[in-house]
Structure formats: structure tokens, C-alpha cells
Amino acid sequence: MKGCQCFSALFIVCFAVLGCVQAVTLEVKDGNSTCIKAELSASLSVTYNTSNGTRTVMVSLPNSTLVDTAKSSCGGSGSAPWLVAAFGSGHAIGLSFSTNGSVYSVTNLTLQYNLSDFSLFPEANSSGVVSVTNASVGIWAPINTTYRCVSPTTIRALEVAVTFSDMRLEAYMPGNDLSPAESVCTADQTPTAPPTTTTAATTTTTAPPRPPPGTPERGTYSVRNINGTECLLAQMGLQLNVSYFSQSENKTVQELFNLTPNLTSSSGSCGASRATLVLTQDQNTTLSFIFTMNSTSNKYHLSGIVLLANWSDMSAPLSASNTSLDYLRSTLGRSFMCNAEQTLRVVPAFSLNTFRLQVQPFGVTTKQFAAAEECQMDQDQMLIPIIVGAALAGLVLIVLIAYLIGRKRSHAGYQTI
């Protein structure tokens, strides 16, 4: 993938922008029962030596990744449960687990890459398989719960950095499927609301007000599946309403920020029950939408929004997400439309304003939106002309009846003469 040759520091952006990342499902079984299951996307950045200096390549876990059944195991008799996923020619990623009875955790992450794979590591000045390990991964969850982290998490081991995103995994599973109870990683959790003190209020009034950015431009975004056909369509104007600690003003500020469509790139993924749209602007703003389909009712909705922002004036990068939302509800085979401005509350420090929105995350068969289900606000607005029209029609009718009655009276008047 040509787009993947970006700097390692930017590779989160790389995968967000270029959509090089695919979700894979990996399972380790012992007979018929599953002990480890992982659904994740992963992107690796590997720095290696060439005769000219060092070079960094980006590679994402392809969906042809398979569990290495010879190395993976459910553990027991002194060995730890181990998930080893192999991909490409001799590359692998391994997660080893342990538990103390109430909590399970990833004890170490092992990465193995084969420098002899010249298609991935051109001009490498050494060959053979390199293996690196990081033993402080920080992934843990209570037993009988699924660890979930939608936000990207980067783990480094020497020359390699792995970024997981959209991750759900469980070890020591009680059943063959991921437990419905989820343990949400810190990055996905609601950031604490900015403190609102009276001093902050007084400084707010003295500070010069920021100019409001006006209505955002409407952008057209889409996600394509592996064979290049559109599988998610979206058109909308987007405005972020963000509270953060401003370095220049030394206080928490609230800012409206419009996404500029021609500076924003889209990527994402499509699935039968889950679809994501990831919008990235200027490599410092990434906004993700997660849509969920209920296959029983054939209804879908926007279930999650994730914002990552690293703006120059922020004292620390902002990561805000909420994955238990219920917005933009519609039916499979239809799109959702809302021309009126909507405010989608995500967390106390972040809400999203949408303008002239139309989305279809599932059941896209052509490049066109299917028939739309409209939001209540649009329906209410459509009612106004109908009510006005009905009132006018009523008025015309009354005038007409009055005229007819009047005419009949006057006719009657003539005949009596």
C-alpha cells in the first residue's frame, strides 16, 4: 500500500486516514471450547536498518491473519494461555495471558518479523526472523468480562510499535463467545468534566470571546470494502464543541471547531453488524463513528463516537469517547436523514453538532443513498408548511362558501322581486 509509507510518529493517523486497517477475529480453542477470543485491528510500524540508514515500514494485520494453532494454547500444566497470530511470510504477533483468579491480564506481547521478506522490508541489510517482547502491556480485565478498547492503544517493543484499535478480547472464557459484560479501557472512558469554579466564570467574562465559526460546510464521505465498492455513505456538516485546557489562556475553554471537508479524509470498515467511519483532518483531529445493526429487528443506530484531538493549544491530547449512544436510528435498507441541526452529546467535554446529515452505514448497494427515514425535527419542520397550507385552504374554503351563500341570497332576492 503506497499510502502506508508515512512516518512512524504519524502512523495512527496513517491507518485512520488510509484505512489500511482491517478487523480480524482470532480464536484459540481446546477441543470444542474457546479459551481466548480477540476481535481487533492492529497496525505495526517496524524500523529496520538498510545500508543507507534506517527505514520505517507500516503494516496492518491483514484479514488473512490466522491463529498459529501449533504455538497457541489454552495453557494448563504450567504453561500460560497464548494467542499467536501469524500473517504474511513469517510474521507473527503473540499475546500471553495470566490470571490470579479474579483478574486476567496480558503478561507480554511478542512480535516476530521476518526481515527476509523483501516485499515488506526492501533493502534490509540483515535477514532472518527478529523477535521482540514487551512485558508491560497494561491490558487487563476482571474474569468473565470482555476487555474493550475502541480508542487506539500503542505498545512499543524496541524497533516495533503496535497500535491496536477497536479491540475486544477475552481469555479464560466461561463460554465460547465473548462475555457480554465489558471492561472498558481508560482511554474509552468518559473524561472527567472540566471543573467549573466561580473564578473560571469570572475569567471567562474578561477573556475576549472567540469568533463563532459559522455553519460548517457539508462534506461527502464514504467507506469502501476490500473490492473497492462503497459500503458506507455519509454527507454532513460537522461541528465539534469541545472543552479543553488551553495553554495560552491557562484555563479551560470551550471551542467550536468546524471540520473542513476538503481537508478531511475518510476511512473505516463495514460489517454485517458493525460499521465504522473514521474522519481525519490535519493529522491532529480524528473523529470516528460506530454504527451498530440489530439483526433481530433489522434496525441500526449510531452507537459510538470517538474523538482524538491534539491541537496546538491543548495542554494534553484530548481523547473523548462514548460507545453506548443511541442516535440516528433507522432501518436496514434505508438511510437516515436530518437536515435540521442536531446536537449529539458524547461526554460532558465534547458534543457534536451535525448539519444537513444523511448517512447509510449498512445495506449500500449503489453509490446512491436508499430512501431516507427522517429525524423528528425534519418531520416537525415539514409539518409547518402543511399546517400553513391547510389553514390557507380552510380560509379559501370559508371565503368560497361565504361567496356562494352570498350569491344564493342575492339570487333569492331577485326572484322575490
Ligand X SMILES: *[C@@H]1O[C@H](CO)[C@@H](O)[C@H](O)[C@H]1NC(C)=O
Q: Which three cell numbers stand for residue 48?
A: 529496520
* Strand bridging mode 146-149 / 182-184: parallel
* Identity of the residue, 143 or 332, whose beta carbon is nearer to ligand X in the bound complex: 143
Distance between CA atoms of residues 76 and 82, nearest Å = 11
Minimum CB–partner distance for residue 406 and ligand X (Å):
58
Could you tell me the three cell numbers for 63? 484479514
Q: Give the shortest CB-133-to-ligand X separation in angstroms.
A: 4
Closer CB to ligand X, residue 310 or residue 378?
A: 310
Stretch that binds ligand X, among 183-191, 223-231, 385-393, 403-411 (CB under 6 A): 223-231
Show the cell assigned to 224.
469502501
**Beta pairing partners, 351:** 241, 345
User: Among candidates 116, 163, 121, 229, which has minimal Cα distance to 20?
Assistant: 163
Nearer to ligand X, 136 or 415 (CB): 136
Binding residue for ligand X (CB under 6 A) from 48, 147, 244, 350?
48
Of positions 7, 69, 76, 123, contacts ligand X by CB under 6 A: 123
Distance CA 5, CA 7 (A): 7
The piece of 45-53, 84-92, 187-195, 235-243 that touches ligand X (CB under 6 A) is: 45-53
Specify the stretch interacting with ligand X by CB under 6 A; choose among 42-50, 300-308, 337-345, 409-417.
Answer: 42-50
Q: Are 81 and 75 in contact (CB under 8 A)?
A: yes
241: cell is: 464543541
Instruction: Give me the 74-113 binding string for ligand X, x by CB under 6 A, dash otherwise.
Output: ------x---------------x-x-xxxx---xx-x---
Measure the CA–CA gap between 278 and 287, rounded to whole angstroms.
6
Residue position matching grid coordinates 516485499: 119
Q: How near is the Cβ of 227 to ligand X at its closest, in Å?
A: 4
Query: Of the two residues 164 and 274, which places its CB atom closer to ligand X in the complex?
Result: 274
Residues 274-313 interacting with ligand X (rule: CB under 6 A): 282, 284, 294, 296-297, 311-312
Q: How far is the CB of 163 from ligand X (least distance, A)?
A: 19
Provide the mask over 309-348, with x wherever binding to ligand X is found by CB under 6 A and - wherever it is not. --xx------------------------------------
Candidate list 8, 190, 225, 339; residue touching ligand X; CB under 6 A? 225
Select the span of 44-52, 182-190, 385-393, 405-413 touching ligand X (CB under 6 A): 44-52
Distance CA 394, CA 363 (A): 43
The 10 Å Cβ neighbour count of residue 415 is: 6
**At closest approach, how far in Å is the CB of 354 from ligand X?**
19
Contacts 24+ apart (CB under 8 A), 323-328: 323/148, 323/150, 323/184, 323/188, 323/290, 325/301, 326/301, 326/302, 327/301, 327/302, 328/291, 328/301, 328/302, 328/357, 328/359, 328/375
Residue number of the CB atom closest to ligand X: 311
Region 154-213 residues binding ligand X, contact defined as CB under 6 A:
159, 174
**Coil, strand, or helix at residue 376?**
helix
User: How far apart are the C-alpha atoms of 91 and 114, rounded to whole Å?
Assistant: 6
Nearer to ligand X by C-beta: 5 or 63? 63
Q: Which residues contact 160 (CB under 8 A, 6 or more apart)?
A: 44, 45, 46, 47, 111, 113, 132
Kindly state whether residue 227 participates in binding ligand X, applying the rule CB under 6 A: yes
In the DSSP assignment, the letter for residue 278 is: E
Q: Which is nearer to ligand X, 50 or 196 (CB)?
A: 50
For residue 178, report the phi and psi dihedrals to the nearest 5 degrees.
-55, 140
Q: Cβ of residue 51: shortest distance to ligand X, in angstroms? A: 5
DSSP H or E segment with residue 155: strand 153-157
State which of positions 347-386 bind ligand X (CB under 6 A): none
Number of residues that bind ligand X (CB under 6 A): 40
Per-residue interface string for the shown chain with ligand X, residues 242-271, x marking contact by CB under 6 A:
--------x-----------x---------
Where along the sequence are the contacts to ligand X (CB under 6 A)? Answer: 31-32, 48-52, 63-64, 80, 96, 98, 100-103, 107-108, 110, 123, 126, 133, 135, 143-144, 159, 174, 225-227, 229, 250, 262, 282, 284, 294, 296-297, 311-312
